[in-house]
Amino acid sequence: MHQDFCGGWSSPGLCSEMDPYNGNLLREYLLKVNFTGLSGEEFHFLPNGDGPPRYRILNFKQIHPGKYEWITVGMFENRTLMMDMEKLQFHMNHTLYPDSLCSLPCQFNEAQMFSGKGVLCCWNCVPCGTYQYLPTRHECVDCPLGTLPSDDLLSCVPIPEEYLTYDSTIAIVAMTVASLGFVAAVYTIYIFVKFFDTPVVKASGKELSFVLLIGILLCYGMTFVIIAKPTNITCGAQKFGVGLCFSICYSALLTKTNRIARIFRAGKRTIKRPKFISPQSQLLICFGLVATQLLIGVVWLLLSPPAAGPYYPTRESNQLVCLSAVGLSYMIGFAYPIVLIVVCTVYAVLTRKIPEAFNESKHIGFTMYTTCIIWLAFVPIYFSTASNIEIRLATMCLSISLSATVSLICLFTPKLYIILLHPERNVRQSMVSSKLHYSLKQSTPNSSSLRVDSGTQSDGEIELHQRLKSCGSLSSGFSRSTSATQTCSNGTSISTQTLDSIGRGFDDFDVQL
């Protein structure tokens, strides 16, 4: 270039034609340069401006045991590969060439992580996690809750919703128990209505008995509400109903036990009839107790509106549940019934020594003891099944049904037994006789344990009561005697009709045999 424009070595330095010089023109002259280097090898530029490729191919191989060296096994020069195959030695195979690349292609579940910025031919293959997918070939991304990666890992697919259905085995068991109990409760109501005016029904405190039976029916019905597919409506019914049905049952039982306890406690202190033992008073007390639960339920619904939604106890689960069933929210509805159960159990213990003639307190006591056992078993199960709402709800259904069944069997079976199988015992004379036998047995000639309220009894009835007090005891006992008269131990004779008349005073207490 200098020769062409400046005359060569005869004119050293840049001439005006080369100042300033043209870079593109200089490049054209450089690409035409060729010469023999100090190594004796020819050098020239390639059309793209690179020097001629010339490589010595080395193989790191074992010369003898314990010694390794790099051995020249070939050359690449003038676009020609020359290899001495006899000198090649590979670790695993002596006949196959290793792959000539930086990185192998990644598997379908692996992301390509490049070795460095701008390096596109070398990468590391990083396996994606169990719950990750590949939106691109270079990034693993977590699938949202309620979804799992597709088989090709290109997207996430929703997990089918799970909830307690009517055709599941555990739901069928719970509904079967509830259905049988519901039928038994309806049949009991039918019998009580049919024999409404008989002594057994009257003496059982029929008003509270019907309240208790309604509560038992609601307990059985709650099973079908709990198993229903979660919606805002069914969730609201669950929140409001689980505590209400129990409150109705145990409010009635608490009212009964409180009444019995007050009657016998008052008998030791005063001759006056205790207050608030009439059927109307008992219903008001019972409804007042239930109203507390109603208030709790309404406030709970207002502060925490019912809602159904997804619940993910594990990464592979998608359960449709009432959100109140998650955690310990339902214990708000159970708190007040548990208090009623505890108080009712305390009253059952206090009235456990009431004589056999007034043994409904014993039936209530057995009911409460069994109920406590059921709830002591239910509470740990409820807390330990937080990861499986289906099991938790099914357990709740069975516990509610078992509690209702215990009340139905313990409190109403003895009455149905007399009404249906021994109607001869469902008469006033039989019940009055047992009550008077207890009273006379406990009386002494000077005692006042057999009392009447002078404000409600006639002078003749008061006189008959005084005669019984002076009688001391009946020499023939008072067991189902059908004779026209009864003889006292002092020889005094009292007609059975008279005793029946006196016995009407006991019926005011409606105490079950």
Dist. CA 84–CA 404, nearest whole Å: 94
Tokens of 104: 């192998």
Would you state the structure tokens that stand for residue 270, as one six-digit string? 């005063």
Model confidence at 492: pLDDT above 60: no
Residue 381 has pLDDT above 80, yes or no: yes
Task: Quote the CA–CA distance of 396 and 374 in Å, as a whole number.
Answer: 11
Whether residue 95 has pLDDT greater than 70:
no
pLDDT band, residue 280 (cuts 50/70/90): confident
All CATH 2.10.50.30 domain ranges in the chain, comma separated: 110-158
Q: What is the pLDDT of residues 56-76, one digit of tens each?
A: 888 888 888 888 888 888 888
Is the distance from CB of 357 to CB of 432 less than 8 angstroms? no
**Does 248 score more than 90 pLDDT?**
yes
User: Is the per-residue pLDDT at 228 higher than 80?
Assistant: yes
Confidence of residue 6 (pLDDT cuts 50, 70, 90): confident
**Rounded Cα–Cα distance for residues 83 and 77 (Å):** 11
Higher-pLDDT residue of 237 and 120 is 237
Distances (CA, A) of 142 to 92, 131, 134, 154, 315: 39, 6, 9, 12, 11
pTM of the model: 0.64
Cα 8-9-10 angle, rounded to 5 deg: 90
Q: Across the chain, what does the average pLDDT equal?
A: 77
- Residue range 169-425 forms a domain whose CATH class is mainly alpha
Which of the four pLDDT bands, split at 50, 70 and 90, describes residue 445?
very low
Angle CA(187)–CA(363)–CA(173) in degrees, nearest 5? Answer: 50
Residue 406 has pLDDT above 50, yes or no: yes
Highest mean pLDDT pick, 76-90, 104-118, 126-140, 426-440: 126-140
The per-residue pLDDT for 114 is 81
pLDDT at 268: 59
Nearest alpha-carbon partner for 401 in 179, 232, 144: 179
| Candidate from 35-44, 101-110, 186-195 with smallest mean pLDDT | 35-44
Q: How many CA atoms lie within 13 A of 408 on its CB side?
A: 25
Question: What mean pLDDT is predicted for residues 9-22?
Answer: 74
Helix axis angle for 232-266 and 206-227, nearest 10°, is 160
Percent of the chain predicted with pLDDT > 90: 23
Q: Contact at 8 Å (CB) between 401 and 176?
A: no
State the Cα–Cα distance between residues 401 and 220, nearest whole angstrom: 6
Cα(128)–Cα(3) distance, integer angstroms = 65
In the predicted model, is pLDDT for residue 265 greater than 60?
Answer: yes
Place domain 110-158 in its CATH homologous superfamily: GPCR, family 3, nine cysteines domain (2.10.50.30)
Specify the amino acid at residue 376: L
Compute the radius of gyration of the chain from its Cα atoms.
49
Q: Where in the chain is the domain with CATH 1.20.1070.10?
A: 169-425
**Whole-number pLDDT of residue 486:** 52
Q: Supply the pLDDT for residue 491.
A: 55
Question: How confident is residue 267, by pLDDT bands cut at 50, 70 and 90?
Answer: low
Average pLDDT of the residues in 221-232: 92
Mean pLDDT check: name the lowest of 44-53, 206-215, 346-355, 461-470: 461-470
Residue 457 pLDDT > 70? no
Beta strand 139-142 pairing with 34-36: unpaired
Q: Are 206 and 195 in contact (CB under 8 A)?
A: no
Give which of 496, 490, 483, 495 is closest to 469, Cα–Cα. Answer: 490
Stretch 428-435: mean pLDDT: 48
Count of C-beta atoms within a 10 Å radius of residue 125: 14
Question: Rounded to the nearest 5°, which phi and psi values hold at 464?
Answer: -65, -40
* DSSP 8-state code for residue 126: E
Query: How distant, in Å, are the alpha carbons of 200, 358, 477, 486, 504 from that of 480?
Result: 16, 16, 9, 11, 17
